[in-house]
A and B are shown apart, each in its own frame.
Chain A
Amino acid sequence: MDEEDTRDFNERCAQCSEVNWGLTDGGRFYCRSCHNVTERTREVVNTDFITNSRVQTISKGSKKQEKNDGGCEWYICEGFQLVLKKQVEALEALGVCPQMKDEILCNFWRCYLQKSKQAYCKRPAGETVKTLSVCESSTDVDSDPERPSLLHLLSLSESEGDLQTDCSFASSVSKVSESTSVYSGSVDGSLYLMKNQKEKLRMTMPMTLSFCYLALLWVREPITLSELLRFVVEGHIPYMNVFQHFPEKMKLCGLDLKIFCVESWPEYKEVFNKMHELAAFLDLPRFPDITESCFLHPDMLCMKYLMEANLPDELHNWTCRVVKKIGIGEVDFLTLTPGNKSTRKVKYDVLAAAVIVVVLKLLFLLDDHYEWLLSEFAEERNKNNTEGGPYFEFKKWYEVVKHSLDVEQKKLDEEKAKYLWRCEKPLFYSVKNKSKVLKRRQMVVNLQNQFGKLSGSVQRAEKPNPSSFQLSWSEENTDGSCFHGHSLKGVLQEKCGLLTVMNPDYWLCTVKLCNEKLCGHLAHYREVEFPQSYHFVLGLFSFLLRIQPSYIHDEFNKSTLVLE
């Protein structure tokens, strides 16, 4: 390709002062903007060898190979495309409908490329940026154009991971006097990091998940965002070391690592916000409606979560009532309409969890006193009178669920501590520290073998099969640990022919509300200020959804404010 061949040549055109060269058939450079043909040919550019013409011809071929090392030139967006492909294939393997890949996600991606002017448009953005940087430099043609220092680039990028680490490499890399841009395996790695974030939505690894979720939402698949992120953590969806699946020719080094090599789990809030930004950026129309029969409707999600939390099925009536009362079951409320700033951004899973918490609070108050009282009454009744099914005892439920929760939480913590972040593919910032990196890797592998043998027969657990439910309770268990069928009669009372709550009082525990715009939270959640039961319930759902309890607390506050 012309680009590859003319990359070395960075002089300004005599006529139009631009740097936009091509190669004629005769091997001469010509300016593509004004079609001015120069007398310079390709060989002459390698001025190092001008004294020895014989060496020149030999080196012409080898220098090229040596530089690319058998690799090809690739752009960052190509990399991301590969990542998305792998992710959607994994989703397909999980059972998502196959149209998602080719019809939906692909189109979204193409639309994104077009809008961000990386492809499918007249003049790719990468080139414009390059000329700009050259123009800004000094007018002296002989000196190297001012290259943005590595440090500067790194500070512009998102502050994830260790900048300190990279800065320590900076000094070594800046000495590398490559004639191309600052070191990266891809063509536009450094330019990518330099781009202005505000104008065009720059692609990042968490954003790949936003893409996936957007597509899932369009098809209305029964996967919530928290489930998607959980699958990522469990390894069913490639995210962490996905670059190891890149083809051999795409060499990854230098700044590419900053982009593709993540060292943190994707965060719910970040993915969610990016998803909305993306939807607006792509100018998408209103998404398919989310109706009552759809999985993402609060009624359905509440049912699912009630089952998973081992709560009685009867609570479902109450959740439906609450949903209706606060109006979150409306189609218009739930359906995503990008660009419409007045609609609330709906976190379906968190909302459903919050509704359940509201219902629990309505029925049991969760003030560390009332619910235990009710529980005692139920226990008494259950002891004396076993006909007509057991009444729901809060205390028993708490004991059973807490036990399982603790076991699962402990397992999760250990898994997180034992997680292996690095993969077989070595990562190095520059050719200089490649040998060091490889040596270290070798040593790590040796140590892992040595100590692995000493770990005894403890094998690394196989990846668990992907499952929608993390806690499951079976009615066949005779130990009575399943509460699905229990009745709520002990908690309710007949009033005007309708079942209502025994205690008509209800209050919002939060003492002080905050301004959401200032700090992103409607109310701050601190453990000590709230009753232990409330804290436990929040903890249960935050484990199931793998999010911070404060998120649920926020949603809960929003819902109850409406309820009041």
Chain B
Amino acid sequence: MDSFLEDYEEAPAVVVGGKRRRRRRRRSPATQAALQPLLHLPFLPPQPVSSNEHKSNFKKSKEACLSYIQDALLQKQWKRAAEFLTCYVESLEKDYSREHIGPSEMIWRIGTEILWHHSQSRMKEFSCFMEQMKTLGVKRYLKVCLEHVFHLLCNGQIDEAYQNLSLAESWRFGEQTAIQDKEIKLIQAYRGLLDYCSWSKQKKILLEHGEDGFADLAVEQEMHSYFRKAAVNLKEIIKIPGVWDVFVKCYVDLLEFYGEYNEARQVLNEYAYNSKFPANPNAHVYLYQFLKRQGESKKSLLSALKILHDIVPSHELMIDFNTMLQKSKKRKKRQLGLEVIFAALDYAGWKENAKAWSCLARQVKQIVISEKHLDWIKQEWSSRKDWWPDFHFSRYLAKRNWQENKSLSHEKALVAGILLGKGRIFFFFFHFIEQK
């Protein structure tokens, strides 16, 4: 469930902020609060504290039932959860219109979890259950449809997902249609995404045929029609402020294929720089990659990466950034390069990254040899000299690096030697290397 579309490499799911299952879509606070899936945090939303005495035993018993279900779910005891849910569904017959989350919503969410994870449940039952849930609440109809579609996609049933999306799109229910327009936009966007997938399938076929010398007109026609359908929907959703990584990527891909570079650039700029959109490092990554593909000037590339450095100093592109900055003629840029590489190595994920260490080693060596700008090193090292020795240059790490990755330890030793000077441990370590 972590990757949204497992079959399509062009559109990997980007998990923003480490959310468990699927991506966070930005909504208005009200819908967001209501949409909060039950199990993102392991607590049920707090029940409104009302005087216990006036509640009937029916209500108290159903609340107790619910807490048993919660316990069972958290311990992944699906059978037990199903057992208690069987007793809880009775509360559908009682009107809970004053509660924050009513029993029908609870049953939908809990039932989905159980049916998805239970070993004996089949997709058919699951779909049947979702259909029932759709009839339970008109205010949630589109949400349920959307979640059903996600589950179908996770199960690989692309065609059914597409059918459901089309069906949902054509749903009309008086003023509810207007109230739920955000969900409709999402549904259209995902349909656009599936159109994109079909498009790329056709594209693949076309390219293969192209190699063989055949030009299949029908395939080409289909491909273009998918493109039109996809483009319309994707364009719409991107206009709304939000985190739309997958959609943006697909849309840009489409535009590039058809040579609409200006439009693509505009879209990416909007996505990255429009303050209405939430701060999203991926936006800058996409922009950078696009600019690189287009062969833009170093200046624009660097400016794109600079912002990325500000947001996510530990991003993997920092190596490219540093490499480009080192080669620059401007002094300031080179100093920035040093900053960048030091900042990246502050993070634990980079400890074993040989390339990063080699970048740092190279730059530091160059500075030392040229004997210019030693103050740069001093500046960077002053804030790090308390903790870097234990963090990177401990005896244990030295031994381990030496055993596992010789090139890494070589680079590290170099850096350490320069930075620590006559530091005892690494001096000894240097000795150790020389002996070998």
Contacts and interface: CB of A to CB of B under 8 A. Distances in A.
B211 interface: no
Interface stretch (B2-10, B85-93, B142-150): B85-93
Nearest to A163: B54
Contact of B61 (A159, A161, A417, A453): A417
Contacts of A413: 64
Contacts of B257: none
Interface of B: 54, 56-59, 61, 64-65, 67-68, 78-80, 82-87, 89-90, 92-95, 97-98, 107, 111, 114-115, 118, 120-121, 125, 128-129, 132, 135-136
B90 A444 contact: yes
Contact of A263 (B57, B65, B120, B128): B57
Interface stretch (A363-371, A418-426, A497-505): A418-426
A488 interface: no
Interface in A434-452: 437, 440-441, 443-444, 446-448, 450-452
Interface string A526-539: 00000000000000
Interface of A: 159-162, 164-165, 168, 263-265, 413-414, 416-422, 437, 440-441, 443-444, 446-448, 450-456, 458
Nearest to B65: A417
A264 B57 contact: yes
Given A444-B89, A444-B93, A454 B120 contact: yes
Given A413-B64, A447-B111, A458 B83 contact: yes
Q: Is the interface of B mostly helix, strand, loop or mixed?
A: helix
Given A168-B95, A440-B92, A456-B79, A160 B86 contact: no
A458 B89 contact: no
Contacts of B107: 447
B79 A458 contact: yes
A443 B136 contact: yes
Contacts of B79: 454-456, 458
Contact of B83 (A419, A437, A444, A455): A455
Contact of B92 (A165, A264, A443): A443
Nearest to B90: A422
A451 B111 contact: yes
A502 to B, nearest CB: 43
B253 to A, nearest CB: 42
A420 B90 contact: yes
Contact of A451 (B54, B65, B68, B82): B82
B93 A440 contact: yes
A174 B217 CA distance: 68
A455 B89 contact: no
A417 B58 CA distance: 9
A437 B90 CA distance: 12
Contacts of A437: 93
A240 B63 CA distance: 19
A161 B93 contact: no
B93 A264 contact: no
A162 B56 contact: yes
A450 B129 contact: yes
A164 B132 CA distance: 27
A494 to B, nearest CB: 51
A422 B65 CA distance: 15
A414 B67 CA distance: 11
Contacts of B87: 417-420
Nearest to A267: B57
B48 to A, nearest CB: 13
A443 B132 contact: yes
A299 to B, nearest CB: 35
B115 to A, nearest CB: 8
B92 A444 contact: yes
Contacts of B64: 413, 416-417
B56 A161 contact: yes
Contact of A165 (B82, B84, B95, B111): B95
A453 B86 CA distance: 10
Contact of A455 (B57, B68, B86, B115): B86
16 contacts: A160-B56, A263-B58, A263-B59, A264-B57, A417-B84, A418-B65, A421-B61, A447-B86, A447-B92, A450-B128, A451-B82, A451-B89, A451-B111, A451-B114, A452-B82, A458-B79
A164 B98 contact: yes
A418 B84 contact: yes
Nearest to B128: A450
A157 B61 CA distance: 23
